[in-house]
Structure 1
Amino acid sequence: MADKKRLGKTDLYVNPIGLGTNAVGGHNIYPNLIEETGKDVVRTAIDNGINFLDTAYIYGPERSEELIGEVIKEKGNRSEIVIATKGAHKFVGGKIVLDNSPAFLREAVENSLKRLQTDYIDLFYIHFPDEGTPKAEAVGALKELKDAGKIKAIGVSNFSIEQLKEANKDGYVDVLQSEYNLFNREVEKEILPYTKDHNISFVPYYPLAAGLLGGRYTKETTFNDGRAKNPLFQGEAFVRNLEKVEQVREIANAKNAEVAHVVLAWYLTRDSVDALIPGAKRPEQVTNNLKTLEIQLTNEEIEKISRIFQE
């Protein structure tokens, strides 16, 4: 099994391949999910050495946390698992609004603790910034919860560089989670240098760009979901993007690996990217994701992949 990586300045050590669980009980994201299959996904992850589980209130809502709590209680190995969850969303008059106020964050943490059936959360993220709450004030509330033993580490998610700097004014931020993939490298400009300089771990989401970087699509593939409106999947752009993926396939074939494994391994060569949280809808996808850890990229291969996707 892979050497564990430390998250930022914390005492949390994780397998570099974690598990994103929006397909575990995330009925509002994926229709027709079978909850027992979702629980099997979590069991398979834990049984195969994955100790970093990423969830959120809004996955379900609430249901993902509940299912993970059930599995961890059943397994009886809470101290070996690093649970990350997120809060910021609430329903007001049937509509979802964002709230980062200290009072709301305290309530969100207490509610997550109940759903997860645990007395502490390893990593709690502010899921999205709201418009009104000063970022350092929101993080300050999490610092109080950390001091009280309710959480062990503080994360923020989807924060711009300006918001991140404000949130980290007192040096309390341990982890940042944001979108990052080979088609969207915006965070490389300012965010990754900042996280490196301030010993903040960066956890990317959307690493395979809705499957485009998984290497399983062809020019003939059609989509009838959200991808149909995604610019990456449209017309000539889609064809050019597939050509880039095929160049990565040459590297993957030489290693007897899949494109997705090579792409995920590339992220782990980036400064401050200490862990990945690819999702899975079926148990076999969990064990397949772990094959990423067998990939060793040379400096030449790392540079080549970077060049392929340089716009």
Structure 2
Amino acid sequence: MRYVQIPHTELRPAVLSMGSICSVEGPVTDAYRILDMYRDAGGNLLDSANVYGKFFPAGTNICDIHIGNWLKSRGCRNRFIVETKGGHPDVKDFTRSRLDIESVRSDIEESLAALQTDSIDLFYLHRDDRSLPVGEIIEYLNDFRKVGLIRHFGCSNWEPDRICQAQAYAAAHGLEGFAANQLLWSMADADMRHYPWGGCTNMTAEAFDYHRTADMAVFAYESQARGFFQKYRDGGGKAVPENLLALYGSPRNIARYKRAVRLAEDKDLPLSAVILAYLTSAPFPSGALIGPRTPEQFEDSMTAADIELTPEEFIYLKGDSDYLQ
């Protein structure tokens, strides 16, 4: 398993992190089995969010709860980096922001209780609220850090200009800034007009260019584009659901798919390994969240755990080398 250093922190997570959404569906024993496999493979980063599970009738942060129970049952909290997210809009009304200090503190405290831990290693703000000054947000995150509720913090679904403003404020006031950014990113560029969830951001050309010099880590969610490339391989456009084709079926992505197939054949690798290695071989510290539902899916994802592409191979897959010149 390869690992990546998160700049300005002591955190060194595996390049493939376990997206704990896998704990939401199916028997908890299935989730535990996959978590056991991830631990045994050398994985050390578990990703969750306070809102995961709150869309279900029970309305609880079930992913945090499952992660906490698994860590306690295995007695392995100290070997894992545990990250979760808070500040998600009200699940009953996405227009109601919850990025105020009281709501974020409530999410942190609720996650700490569910995760059965004293401190969150890496806490992400799940959304942005551009009506709030970045200075106000950076100040309260640093206050949470000072009292030990969180060790480090990052942002998820923030635009580059807001991240830049937040980092500048932190630097000017001698405070810690965002250690990492979590956003929608895969080898397939998403057409966000067809993305089902509001308030999410993807890896645009602007975001990619920003992160080349931002000195912060980037972690990709939906890193395998919901299996778009594998489905396309298995039957072309006819095998891809209509909503997925609208989201990812651009000519640019099909061209990337063909290059990925050629590279996989040349290197004698599974296609899935090339797709994930593309993300973990970027010209900045990066990793990918995976969300396997079965042991077979887990094993397939793990084929990328030790693979690092060369800069030339990354450019070849990306297909627009101007961003790396």
Short-chain TM bin: 0.7 to 0.9
Would you say the 8 A contact 1:247–1:308 is kept in 2?
Answer: no
- Picking from 213, 222, 238, the partner of 1:206 is 222
Counterpart in 2 of 1:252?
A: 264
In structure 1, distance between residues paired with 2:321 and 2:62: 37
Distance verdict in 2 for CA 1:241–1:191, change over 3 Å: closer
Counterpart in 1 of 2:63?
A: 64
Counterpart in 2 of 1:272?
A: 284
- Picking from 160, 173, 186, the partner of 1:181 is 186
Shift of residue 147, structure 1, vs aligned partner: 1.2
Shift of residue 158, structure 1, vs aligned partner: 0.5
- Picking from 33, 36, 56, the partner of 2:29 is 36
Would you say the 8 A contact 2:7–2:216 is kept in 1?
Answer: yes
In structure 1, distance between residues paired with 2:255 and 2:161: 35
TM-score, normalization by structure 1: 0.85
Shift of residue 101, structure 1, vs aligned partner: 0.8
Q: Tell me whether 1:47 sits opposite 2:46 in the alignment.
A: no
Q: Tell me whether 1:84 sits opposite 2:83 in the alignment.
A: yes
In structure 1, distance between residues paired with 2:65 and 2:278: 33
Describe the SS at the equivalent of 1:207: coil
In structure 1, distance between residues paired with 2:84 and 2:266: 38
Describe the SS at the equivalent of 2:152: strand
Number of equivalences = 296
Shift of residue 126, structure 1, vs aligned partner: 0.4
Q: Tell me whether 1:301 sits opposite 2:313 in the alignment.
A: yes
Report the AA paired with residue 207 of structure 1.
S
Distance verdict in 2 for CA 1:21–1:133, change over 3 Å: same
Shift of residue 19, structure 1, vs aligned partner: 1.1
Counterpart in 1 of 2:195?
A: none
In structure 2, distance between residues paired with 1:141 and 1:11: 22
Flag structure 1 segments of 5+ consecutive residues without an equivalent.
Answer: 28-32
Counterpart in 2 of 1:30?
A: none
Distance verdict in 2 for CA 1:248–1:23, change over 3 Å: same
Structure having the higher helix fraction is 2
Of 61-70 and 214-223, more deviation after overlay is shown by 214-223
Describe the SS at the equivalent of 1:71: helix
Shift of residue 222, structure 1, vs aligned partner: 4.4
Q: Tell me whether 1:112 sits opposite 2:127 in the alignment.
A: no
Would you say the 8 A contact 1:183–1:309 is kept in 2?
Answer: no
In structure 2, distance between residues paired with 1:209 and 1:284: 18
In structure 2, distance between residues paired with 1:212 and 1:137: 40
Describe the SS at the equivalent of 1:263: helix
Would you say the 8 A contact 1:22–1:64 is kept in 2?
Answer: yes
Report the AA paired with residue 299 of structure 2.
T
Shift of residue 286, structure 1, vs aligned partner: 2.4
Shift of residue 212, structure 1, vs aligned partner: 1.5
Would you say the 8 A contact 1:24–1:67 is kept in 2?
Answer: yes
Describe the SS at the equivalent of 1:190: helix
Shift of residue 190, structure 1, vs aligned partner: 3.3
Report the AA paired with residue 260 of structure 1.
S
Shift of residue 279, structure 1, vs aligned partner: 1.5
Q: Tell me whether 1:288 sits opposite 2:300 in the alignment.
A: yes
Shift of residue 285, structure 1, vs aligned partner: 2.3
Would you say the 8 A contact 2:65–2:115 is kept in 1?
Answer: yes
Distance verdict in 2 for CA 1:277–1:151, change over 3 Å: same
Distance verdict in 2 for CA 1:56–1:248, change over 3 Å: same
Would you say the 8 A contact 1:57–1:87 is kept in 2?
Answer: yes
Distance verdict in 2 for CA 1:184–1:45, change over 3 Å: same
Would you say the 8 A contact 2:6–2:285 is kept in 1?
Answer: no
Shift of residue 188, structure 1, vs aligned partner: 5.7
Would you say the 8 A contact 1:178–1:203 is kept in 2?
Answer: yes
In structure 2, distance between residues paired with 1:266 and 1:223: 24
Report the AA paired with residue 170 of structure 2.
D
Shift of residue 37, structure 1, vs aligned partner: 1.2
Would you say the 8 A contact 1:21–1:280 is kept in 2?
Answer: no
Shift of residue 177, structure 1, vs aligned partner: 0.9
Would you say the 8 A contact 1:5–1:14 is kept in 2?
Answer: yes
In structure 2, distance between residues paired with 1:200 and 1:300: 22
Counterpart in 2 of 1:190?
A: 206
- Picking from 241, 244, 247, the partner of 1:227 is 244
TM-score, normalization by structure 2: 0.82
Q: What is the identity percentage for the equivalent residue pairs of Structure 1 and Structure 2?
A: 23
Would you say the 8 A contact 2:188–2:256 is kept in 1?
Answer: no
- 1:64-110 CA-to-partner distances (Å, cap 9, x unmatched) read 11101111111111111001110112548x43433111121111111
In structure 2, distance between residues paired with 1:44 and 1:293: 13
Would you say the 8 A contact 1:100–1:129 is kept in 2?
Answer: yes
Alignment RMSD, CA only?
A: 2.5
